Chain A
Amino acid sequence: MSRPNKLASPEASASTPAATADLARRAGAEDPEAALALAEDVLGRALRIGATEAEVLVMAGDSALTRFANSEIHQNVAERNLTVSLRHVVGRRIAVVSTGRVDAEGLRSLVHRAAAIARSCEELEDWAGLPAPADAARSIGSTIGWSDATAVATPEFRADGVRAVIAAADAVGVLAYGSFSTEAEAVAVANSAGIRAAEQRTSSQLLTVHMSPDGGTGYAESVGMDATTIDAAAVGREAATKARASDRPVTVEPGDYPVVLEEYAVVDVTDMLGYVGFSALAVQEERSFAEPGRKIGTELVTIIDDGADTAGLPMSFDYEGVRKQRVSLLEAGVCRDVVYDSQTAARAGHISTGHGLPAPNPWGPFPLNAVMSAGTTPREELIGGLDRGLLVTRFHYTNVVHPKLAMITGMTRDGTFLVEGGRIVGPVRNLRFTQSYLEALAGVSAVSSTRKTLKGFLGAAVVPALRIDAWTFTGVTEF
């Protein structure tokens, strides 16, 4: 896809109701140019009624998810959605109004409501203005995160994948529970400072929990921007093997154990650290552990945020239209930088790293594309370093107990095993942990040489498996 670099002046972008309706019809995952044109249309409307600055974010697309349980499809959904969000600025007074109604009347109402709200607001004293990066035009037309195959995925395609997962479950006498999703969207940003950014993004995720009648459960997941690269049968087999291996678990006492965390557990570590610490707002509010030069992990631990890494789910710009920078968060265990949006960047005298979320955003910027460096240890050899420890497949319902210590509690789930003498002895009942993730990184003694792309609560992450010298388990449950 290409787009002529014709940045029309917003004031000149007045359009007829018919033209607006046409844009609204075309603005979808397949037509980011129409999404951008719609953003420009709204931008012009805002400026014509008195906005001194304005930013318009358009997100349009289709998403679908096929959900299965008890080895049958029980929920199967699809939606088409388009949202226009306007950040309307008058001096230092700022309002954000969003709508899904994109006919001429809906958009007229949008800008007039925004103007009225802005007039009612107090001034934001340290408002730094909307971002205006020099390379905005290069963000137009990127397809780095797009797959045609995902965009055209059908209900039948997803059902085929689900049946492959179920077949793997049937083969070992267990039941399958999970989901297969496909998403395609266009994201476009236009602002009065000159940003014009638009691109197409796709993603797909297949996950399953296999549950055995003998008490075992096993998890597997595959994520990619191209749904056809997901090997559903392999996902099913991985979960099936683990479910049967975790049959008839026994109780081990809570306490400190060395652990091997599989990638499904590690993604929670990168997510939580991003959530509580690797954000400029967290630093500015003094609630972050992250200080440049502070050593929190072993030399084996390096984490960056990289929206251009095609191993993840790439995106070339953020929700303010700012091109995403590659940010080193933790380098050989040492804190380096955090991520910024335009407002936190202005406060710090820094550049925005392109990590803004849709306005208004009281939570601050977050790393949405975490990438943890691979190590040199073959994945299957990680447990070889455990005299007596636990192999953890994934975590469940983790939450922050103490933010500045990055102390987290949660449960193990879907495959927890006792390891003795470097070999798996057998499955154990799930345990609760209460553990500082900072201290955990200080105990990383081995990193797998391979990684997986997974979806966490902050976005996509590319992570290896880890061996950690001590992990504090504080309770046990009945299964």
Chain B
Amino acid sequence: MRDLTNRVLDTAAQLGATYADVRVIRRRDESITVKSGRVEGVAMGENDGFGVRVVVDGAWGFAASDRLELEEADRVGALAVRIAKASSTALRRPVDLDGRPPASGAYETPVEEDPFKIPLERKISDLVEADRAAGAVEGVTFTESMYSGHREWKTFAATDGSFTEQVITQVGTAVEANAIEGDEHQRRSYPDAGGGYQAAGYEYIRGLDMLGNAQSVGDEAVALLHAPQCPPGVRTIVLDPSMLYLQIHESCGHPSELDRVFGTEASYAGTSFLTPDKLEEGFQYGSELVTIVADATAPGGMGTFGWDDEGVAAQQVPLVQNGRFVGYLSSRETAPRVGRQSGGAMRADGWNRIPLIRMTNVNMVPVPGMSLDEIVADTDDGLYLANNRSWSIDDRRLNFQFATEVAYEIKGGKRGQLYKNATYTGITYEFWRSCDAVGDDRSYVMLGTPNCGKGEPSQTARVGHAVPGARFRNVQVGVGKW
């Protein structure tokens, strides 16, 4: 491997690169899809290649290839330099990287049961059993379940002498039941609408007890068909972790990305309301109960690693501290512009994509005192919302709207009436300032998503969110004409 990395770095340097790094990546993905009890798809994919990033005349260039050959290393290194020179013809701010020390070492996701060594038959039968249990409920129209295993071997090398090797392993699964009658279509899923994901082995899948939870998924999908429409109004809401994690993802994680702040995602994902002046003033992002940290060291997180794709070591970066905005997700290029060192959030979607600032594990810190159940018991009148069904937020991450699979009325501290088609909307900082209860360790759970989209060409990131559930006051519920 060093032959290839040395060759491409040497080529780039000889042609004028003042800095270059290269990632050589091999990926293996395995997926199983079951629909209405039938195994619809079993797939395994492998790909490998390398991508080289260079700075020439103060401008970036990047090129990648799936051919791991020394001659190809010469071609790709030279192409990256040529591209950087083209970039330099439209340049206003030359690249200036922070001075992190060279990185070296190895990291590997802790795994108890290697998911790629579990017999495929076993993984299929586990999933089929759960899917059929959900589909056995009378009134379920169709079910859809999935299992996913992902492993990435990554070597990083840079002209500053950095050399790291990492092996990341992640798994995920979901069971989903759909009930349809006339124009009404209701869905319930477990453990999460997009699936439960962690950086772990098959022990995580076993721990979810998919079979034990499948029937209730079917039961509730059918019950939703005949449940009343969630009434509109300004309400108190309690968000289950299965919804709260996405609220954090969209309204805290993305606006904290410093590349968005500086406009480099403006034409696609948008910018951010969290401008640098808000960092200086300690903008009140939320109530004092709200503390959010980007933690690339969190056990089980989909955003956990040893080093990011610039060779910056995994670390914890506070984003919101007791309600005050205190930090960004950042890179070696962007962090110095706000007077800081990179927080290690540069991540690329494989060998053929350039690193971007991405979430690692953006977690909400639990608050000692009440479990999520106790928060419900402490609520006189409200709604309990779980499992996301729809999400949308404006291009500066202010106006959001979410829909959930279920809503339960809370009356006198108890969960009661089931409602369908629940939606809620708000303005990010107003919403987080209305947070008046956060769950403690007893309801703290690591969730995540494998498909956070960003960038052109498009990239998907695998990110984590550990959350405890929380309560919010005066939230507009019920949007649109039903």
A contact set with B: CB distance below 8 Å: 63-83, 85, 94-101, 113-114, 116-118, 120-122, 124-126, 154-156, 158-159, 162-163, 166, 175, 177-179, 181, 207-209, 211, 285-287, 289, 359-362, 396-405, 407, 409-411, 413, 430, 432, 434-436, 472, 474-479
Contacts and interface: CB of A to CB of B under 8 A. Distances in A.
A187 to B, nearest CB: 16
B473 to A, nearest CB: 19
A285 B141 contact: yes
Interface string B354-393: 1000000000000000000000000000000000011111
Q: Which 8 A-B pairs have the closest CB atoms?
A: A360-B41, A434-B480, A100-B47, A155-B86, A477-B399, A177-B266, A73-B87, A120-B120
Contacts of A398: 392
Nearest to B80: A78
B178 A285 contact: yes
Contacts of A400: 390
Interface residues of B, number: 85
Interface stretch (B63-71, B103-111, B212-220, B315-323): B63-71
12 contacts: A67-B456, A75-B354, A98-B44, A100-B49, A117-B120, A120-B42, A121-B124, A124-B39, A211-B266, A360-B43, A396-B270, A401-B403
B228 interface: no
Contacts of A409: 390, 392, 401, 403, 423, 479-480
B267 A179 contact: yes
Given A122-B128, A286-B141, A163 B456 contact: no
A79 B65 contact: yes
Contacts of B47: 83, 98-101
Contacts of B87: 66, 73-74, 76, 155, 159
Contacts of B43: 95-98, 359-360
Contact of A96 (B41, B268, B398): B41
B456 A181 contact: yes
Given A96-B42, A399-B390, A75 B92 contact: no
Interface stretch (B180-188, B294-302, B439-447): B180-188
A402 B83 contact: no
B257 interface: no
Given A360-B40, A362-B33, A401-B403, A101 B48 contact: yes
B142 A361 contact: no
* Interface residue SS majority, chain A: strand
A77 B46 CA distance: 22
A202 B59 CA distance: 28
Contact of A78 (B79, B119, B273): B79
A440 B310 CA distance: 47
A72 B91 contact: yes
Given A72-B91, A396-B394, A411-B394, A79 B185 contact: no
A456 B255 CA distance: 24
B60 interface: yes
B50 to A, nearest CB: 10
Given A117-B44, A121-B42, A401 B423 contact: yes
Contacts of B61: 76, 155
A392 B87 CA distance: 33
A98 B401 CA distance: 38
B240 interface: no
A71 B92 contact: yes
Nearest to A221: B267
Interface string B430-449: 00000000000000000000
B45 interface: yes
Contact of B480 (A73, A95, A407): A407
A81 B91 CA distance: 29
B392 A98 contact: no
Contact of A401 (B45, B48, B79, B390): B390
Given A100-B66, A208-B267, A434-B480, A163 B42 contact: no
Most interface-central of B49, B82, B124, B266 (chain A CB within 10 A) = B266
A159 B87 CA distance: 7
Contact of A362 (B35, B88, B267, B273): B35
Nearest to B64: A79
Nearest to B184: A404
Nearest to A404: B185
Contacts of A472: 480-481
Interface in B403-441: 403, 421, 423, 425, 427
Interface string B231-273: 0000000000000000000000000000000111111101001
Contacts of B46: 98-101
B183 to A, nearest CB: 5
Contacts of B121: 120
Given A70-B263, A73-B87, A177-B263, 17 more contacts: A65-B456, A72-B92, A73-B89, A77-B83, A78-B63, A117-B44, A118-B42, A124-B38, A125-B38, A175-B263, A287-B185, A360-B33, A362-B35, A397-B393, A409-B480, A434-B423, A475-B425
Interface string B95-135: 00000000000000000000000011100100010000000
A475 B399 contact: yes
Given A80-B65, A360-B40, A477 B91 contact: no
B44 A77 contact: no
B178 A78 contact: no
Contacts of A74: 60, 87, 264
B93 interface: yes
Contact of A77 (B142, B184, B457): B457
A158 B86 contact: yes
Nearest to B68: A101
Contact of A80 (B39, B67, B183): B67
B84 interface: yes
B153 to A, nearest CB: 13
A410 B90 contact: no
Contacts of A207: 267
B352 interface: yes
B29 to A, nearest CB: 9
A80 B52 CA distance: 13
Contact of A72 (B90, B391, B427, B456): B90
Contacts of A179: 267-268, 456
A125 B34 CA distance: 13
B395 interface: yes
A478 B427 contact: yes
B190 interface: no
A402 B187 CA distance: 10
Contact of B41 (A85, A181, A361, A404): A361
Given A96-B41, A411-B399, A63 B267 contact: no
